[in-house]
Chain A
Amino acid sequence: NAGVMQNPRHLVRRRGQEARLRCSPMKGHSHVYWYRQLPEEGLKFMVYLQKENIIDESGMPKERFSAEFPKEGPSILRIQQVVRGDSAAYFCASSENSGTPNTEAFFGQGTRLTVV
């Protein structure tokens, strides 16, 4: 059973370009979470999605950032018109159920976005 798969592992974008980060949850998992991590910092929650639904996007910046989790295919975190401050590691996690005790959230290896 493959773990949470994120790609690409490393992404370089010029200022103003778009970044697309993909996350394939573990098999059987229908809940996806996106987190952002700056160097030497903790993970900051961005968005929580179920299939075709955004459940909680309280951590998402109001502009330029969007996320989706379609019925088929991976979850996508999209950042439009990237700026240098968007440079960070973006982690995806998946779970069978939403944060209930004894339901682990498994993390992917992250995508490291560098904006030049």
Chain B
Amino acid sequence: GESVGLHLPTLSVQEGDNSIINCAYSNSASDYFIWYKQESGKGPQFIIDIRSNMDKRQGQRVTVLLNKTVKHLSLQIAATQPGDSAVYFCAENMDRDDKIIFGKGTRLHILP
């Protein structure tokens, strides 16, 4: 089965507020983590990644936090916009020569 999972299937956030999407993983050997955004009818789009030797990485309006002690990953989106509405997947790569394993996803719903 999949080793990456998410706490909440749906998250509703007021436009302009910050969003926090959480993810738990079970394989302590995973060394690379990625967040993807998938809009309806489209393929997953890379957002941000982080290696296991880091605990935080920032991009444009997004921040990924990694807590290896509790095997927890989160994606923070600042000043959430309507265009952020999508399903967000965390994914892990357990072997640098192998596949990426996806979690089930969290649907982010933006309230006007």
Contacts and interface: CB of A to CB of B under 8 A. Distances in A.
A42 interface: yes
B44 A99 contact: no
A106 interface: yes
Residue of A91, A101, A102 ringed by the most chain B CB atoms within 10 A:
A101
A59 B102 CA distance: 13
Contact of A101 (B44, B46, B96, B105): B96
A44 B2 CA distance: 8
A98 B98 contact: yes
A41 B93 CA distance: 19
Interface residues of A, number: 27
Interface in B33-71: 36, 41-46, 49, 51
26 contacts: A33-B99, A33-B100, A35-B102, A40-B105, A41-B104, A42-B103, A42-B105, A43-B44, A44-B102, A45-B99, A45-B101, A45-B102, A56-B98, A56-B99, A93-B44, A98-B98, A99-B32, A99-B95, A99-B98, A99-B99, A100-B96, A101-B93, A104-B46, A105-B46, A107-B45, A109-B42
Interface in B66-112: 89, 93, 95-105
